[in-house]
Amino acid sequence: MLSYDCQIRVWYKHTDQMAICHHSNYICYYEAARSELLRWLGMSFAEVEKRGIMMPILEVQSKYHRPAYYDELLTVRIMLKELPTARINFFYEIYNEKGDLLNTGMTQLGFIHSDTRRPCRVPDWFLQLVTDKWTEE
């Protein structure tokens, strides 16, 4: 398993008239956590693409447990529970500053060649980044 925590503050523009974080922002928080996780592993999405691989979203799931409010500092926990193959599944838990679970989610991304846009298996170099930080739990 692999887990990484990323912090994000709820900006005013992320909220509705009730000062509650709009549901659509959670998908953006997932994306921010994926980018930060990849940087923590030692690579950026820009570098992945320079190496000829793209990772399109195939599926998104999001469950809202409690609202987040303007100016709260959120912790987005992103997890990999299984090693990637031709697809990679990221799982998310979002907590407020009190430690309350606000949201859970999952995104599934595929691996494709940038030039042909055809699916491929996870590249060995990407798999190595993941396995270098993998822990058994």
Identity at 96, one-letter amino acid code: N
The total domain count for the chain is 1
CATH of the domain at 118: 3.10.129.10
Query: Has residue 106 been placed in a domain?
Result: yes
Radius of gyration of the chain (CA): 16
Query: Has residue 80 been placed in a domain?
Result: yes
> For residue range 27-38, what is the model confidence (pLDDT) as tens digits?
999 999 999 999
> For residue range 68-80, what is the model confidence (pLDDT) as tens digits?
999 999 999 999 9
Query: Has residue 135 been placed in a domain?
Result: no
Does residue 136 carry a pLDDT above 90? no
Report the percent of the chain where pLDDT is more than 90. 97
Q: For 8, phi and psi rounded to 5 degrees?
A: -140, 135
